[in-house]
Structure 1
Amino acid sequence: MDRRIVRSRQMIMQAFIGLLGEQDFERITIQGIADRANVNRGTVYLHFTDKYDLLEQSVETYLTMLADSCKPEGGTATELSRDLVIRTFTYLKEHAAVYGVLITNKGIPTFRHRMTQMIEGNMTVVVNHMKLETGIHRDVLAQFLSLSLTGLIEWWVVQSMPYSPEEMVEQMTKILEARLRLW
């Protein structure tokens, strides 16, 4: 793809994410996005059908970037490794301006929902390769781990990332190893 096209799309998406951080999705206009991106309104329409299409493509783009940054070198992870989870938290911290808006924007649950689905898919692969002797159903464990990780990421972002990625993974490890007896 032509570099000018890629650059225009990036500028438009960045402008859109910036506006999402400042106002509700419903109040964002194509003209506002064009003004922020310093492009003509028609340029936005060349790349996106409307702001809903822009939202969908932005969510997909940023999820893909997150997933790509955290993949192991060999492709799909079949083990939940500390390194992969640290890379996930590190990537989110390095790109906090974008992911903070996408994860916490209360009017647009799309990103959080899709991130949960992505994490669940990865957790399902990991859980299916685990040796379980505890009577825990694999689907229940995958669901529990994916929702827990998503919730923890959201909490961490909302709280302005009070702990390092390494500390977050250390805490998660301690929780999982503790086998808390709540009932």
Structure 2
Amino acid sequence: MDRRIRKTQKAIIGAFVELLAEKDFKDITINEVADRADVSRGTIYLHYMDKFDLLDKCIDYYFKKLFESCMRLDGTSLLLSKPLLVRTFEYLEQHESIYKTLLVNKGIPAFRSYMMDEILSNLGELVDVSGVKPDMNKEVAIQFVASAIVGVLEWWIIHATPIPAMDIAEQLWSLLERIQVMPHLL
């Protein structure tokens, strides 16, 4: 993709997130985004169909950035591990204002759902490889662990990262080990 296009899209998404921090999604207009990004309304429509498309692309953009930060250092699969949790929390700590905006804005519950879906998908693959305890239902285990991870991430971001990234990752990992839902992984 052309550098100018990337730069324009980044300015538009940045302006959009700034506006999301100030007001509900439903109250934001394309004109406001254009003014804030210092582009024309037509430029926005060259890149996005409407503000809902802009929201979808914004969520996708920031989720990909989060996902990339969580990848193993060698760029391979995203397995549940303590280093992955630490990297995730450190990245979120560095970019707290953006992710807090995406999680708390009343008009965009989609970011939490997107995060939950990705974690469910990755946990599903992980459980298929390693299995669960014989007396445990696979789907219940996956839902439980995913809900716990997303819930802790969401609480931590919404409450302005009250615990250092390393400490919250350690505590979450310790809880996951204690519950022994997936003994081969934890």
TM-score of the pair, normalised by structure 1: 0.91
Aligned to 1:75: 76
The Cα shift of 1:106 comes to 2.1
Query: Alpha carbon RMSD of aligned pairs, Å?
Result: 1.6
The match for 1:165 is 165
Q: Which has the higher contact order (CA 8 A, sep 6+)?
A: 2
Q: Is the 8 A contact 2:103 2:154 kept in 1?
A: yes
Q: Does 1:44 align with 2:47?
A: no
- 1:118 equivalent in structure 2: 118
Q: Which deviates more from structure 2 when the two are superposed, residues 137-146 or residues 151-160?
A: 137-146
Deviant stretches of 4+, over 6 Å? none
Please say if residues 104 and 154 of structure 1, whose CA atoms lie closer than 8 Å, have aligned partners that are also in contact: no
Residue 127 (structure 1) shift? 2.0
Identify the range of structure 1 (29-38 vs 91-100) with the bigger mean alpha-carbon deviation: 91-100
What residue is the counterpart of 1:60 in the other structure? 60
% identity of equivalent residues: 40
| Deviation by residue 1:130-154 (Cα, 9 ceiling, x = unmatched) | 2433511222111111111111111
Deviation at 1:109, TM superposition (A): 0.4
1:8-157 equivalent positions in 2, closer than 5 A? 8-72=8-72, 73-77=74-78, 79-157=79-157
Aligned twin of 1:5: 5
Deviation at 1:111, TM superposition (A): 0.8
CA distance in 2, matches of 1:159, 1:24: 19
Q: Counterpart amino acid of 2:88?
A: T
State TM-score, norm by structure 2.
0.90
Where structure 1 has 5 or more consecutive residues not aligned to the other structure, the ranges are none
Distance, in Å, in 1 between the alignment partners of 2:149 and 2:59 is 19
The answer to whether the Cα contact below 8 Å between 2:66 and 2:88 also exists between their aligned partners in 1 is yes
Q: 1:82-103 CA distances to partner (integer Å, 9 max, x unpaired)? A: 0011111111111112111111
| Count of residue pairs brought into register by the alignment | 179
Select between 104-113 and 68-77 the one with higher mean Cα deviation.
Answer: 68-77
Runs of 5+ consecutive residues of structure 2 not aligned to the other structure: 181-186
